[in-house]
Amino acid sequence: MMFATQSFSLSRLSNASGWRNFMAAGVAVGMHALVLALLLAQWPSDTPDAPKVRTLTTQLITLPAPVVPDIITPPEPVIVPPVQPAKPIEPVEAPKPDPRIQQQKLEQAALARKRVAEQERQRELQRAQQREQQRIAEQQALARREAEAQQRLAQEQARHRQAAAAAERARQAEAAAAASRQYLPIAKDAPDYPDRALDKNIEGDCTVSYRVNPQGRVENPQVIGDCHPLFVRPSLSAAKTFRYQPRLENGKAVAVDGVKNTFHYRIE
């Protein structure tokens, strides 16, 4: 009986791959030892007959390598180098500014401030002008309102005066009408137009006041108001010719004072 043996050369086990190869070799050797033990246990103890020549055919079977779990290698400790104290930073001297550049910056800053001040002055001047214009506009508006108020007041006063004059004229007319009802004129001749007034184209009015006696005749005629001298005599002469119906009070004729008549001289 022939045995096939297999030798293994072991290299240095410096990593995980070496360990896996060593374990596989050990398993293979163990299996071969187990097979040999089984064969020896079955070997007969009696003296065997003359051996017959037999031919034993062996076949080499290659078993798959056993799966060996990976061996976790602990991580190597990290060696932290000691912290070296930092070297003090030496102060770096700032570069000195160029005097010309510094002077130029100062001049530019001064110009900028001057422009800002000028702009502010212009804005203040504009605001002052606007305030002055607004003040003038308010004064003009106030003056217009005052003028309108004065005009309305004058118009109102004129209307009151006109109304008062109209009322006075109506009262006088009513009084004259009432008086005339008491002493109605019977005869009133127009005066003669003076020749001198005709030659000079003079026109005018002349009012004569007189007393009407109980007989209805005119007494004491007098010119009142403005009257042209050329119209005084013909007006008085014409008033003396007037005749009235006497006023009666309690059935008795009485005199009436202050009777007026206006003569109008017009050239037609």
- In tens, the pLDDT along 37-59 reads 777 766 555 555 555 566 666 66
Structural tokens at position 238: 């014409």
Q: Helix, strand or coil for residue 25?
A: helix
How far apart, in whole angstroms, are the C-alpha atoms of residue 204 and residue 196?
13
How far apart, in whole angstroms, are the C-alpha atoms of residue 180 and residue 139?
60
Of 264, 252, 167, 251, the closest CA to residue 206 belongs to: 264
- Residues present in the chain in total: 268
How far apart, in whole angstroms, are the C-alpha atoms of residue 248 and residue 215?
11
Pairing of strands 243-244, 218-224: unpaired
- Kindly give the confidence (pLDDT) of every residue in the chain, 268 residues in length, as a single tens digit, with 9 standing for 90 and above: 333 333 434 344 345 566 677 777 777 788 878 878 777 766 555 555 555 566 666 666 666 666 655 555 666 666 666 666 666 676 666 667 678 888 888 888 998 999 999 999 999 999 999 999 999 999 999 999 999 999 999 988 988 888 888 888 888 776 665 555 556 788 888 888 998 988 899 999 999 999 999 888 999 999 998 899 999 999 999 999 999 888 888 878 888 888 999 999 998 7
Distances (CA, A) of 18 to 7, 23, 66: 16, 9, 14
Chain Cα centroid distance, residue 232:
81
Torsion of CA 207, 208, 211, 212, to 10 degrees: -80
How far apart, in whole angstroms, are the C-alpha atoms of residue 24 and residue 122?
103
The residues with which 253 forms a beta bridge, in sequence order, are 248
CB 255 within 8 A of CB 212: yes
How far apart, in whole angstroms, are the C-alpha atoms of residue 243 and residue 185?
6
Q: Residue 9: its pLDDT value, please?
A: 41
**Residue labelled with tokens 């209805």:** 216
Chain Cα centroid distance, residue 1:
119
CB 214 within 8 A of CB 255: yes
How far apart, in whole angstroms, are the C-alpha atoms of residue 212 and residue 226?
23
Q: Residue 220: its pLDDT value, please?
A: 92
What pTM, to 2 d.p., does this model score? 0.34
